[in-house]
């Protein structure tokens, strides 16, 4: 991020902002995907097995743009974003 510029929220594929994305990115978290909680739980296990920490956060449906249809708005209420980062030594 360039100093002096205002950070922009990270959008999901439909242009909806991911809650806490900027805060998580600043702490070294990398956004991986947005999906339903069941799929995210599977991915968390996979990433943990590969030596990553995982974190999830919701979507901010109030940021839905013109490209979003009713299905995207509905997904915002239930889908979550998955972030990962390498595990740090204790």
Residue 69 above 80 pLDDT?
Answer: no
Say how far apart CA 37 and CA 80 lie, in whole Å.
Answer: 6
Say how far apart CA 26 and CA 23 lie, in whole Å.
Answer: 5
Closest CA relative to residue 16, chosen from 78, 70, 76: 76
Residue 30 above 90 pLDDT?
Answer: yes
User: Are 30 and 53 in contact, with CB atoms under 8 Å apart?
Assistant: no
User: Are 24 and 58 in contact, with CB atoms under 8 Å apart?
Assistant: no
Cα–chain center distance at 75: 13
Name the pTM for this structure: 0.75
Q: What is the mean pLDDT of residues 62-71?
A: 66
Better-predicted residue by pLDDT, 70 or 31: 31
pLDDT band at 1 (very low <50, low <70, confident <90, very high): very low
Q: What residue spans of 1-90 are helical by DSSP H?
A: 21-26, 37-49, 70-78
pLDDT band at 4 (very low <50, low <70, confident <90, very high): very low
């Amino acid at each position: 991020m360039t100093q002096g510029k205002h950070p922009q929220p990270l959008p999901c594929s439909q242009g909806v902002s991911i809650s806490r994305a900027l805060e998580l990115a600043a702490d070294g978290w990398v956004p991986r995907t947005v999906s339903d909680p069941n799929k995210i739980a599977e991915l968390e296990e996979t990433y943990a097995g590969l030596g990553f920490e995982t974190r999830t956060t919701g979507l901010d449906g109030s940021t839905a743009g013109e490209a979003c249809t009713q299905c995207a708005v509905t997904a915002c209420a239930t889908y979550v974003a998955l972030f990962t980062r390498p595990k740090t030594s204790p």
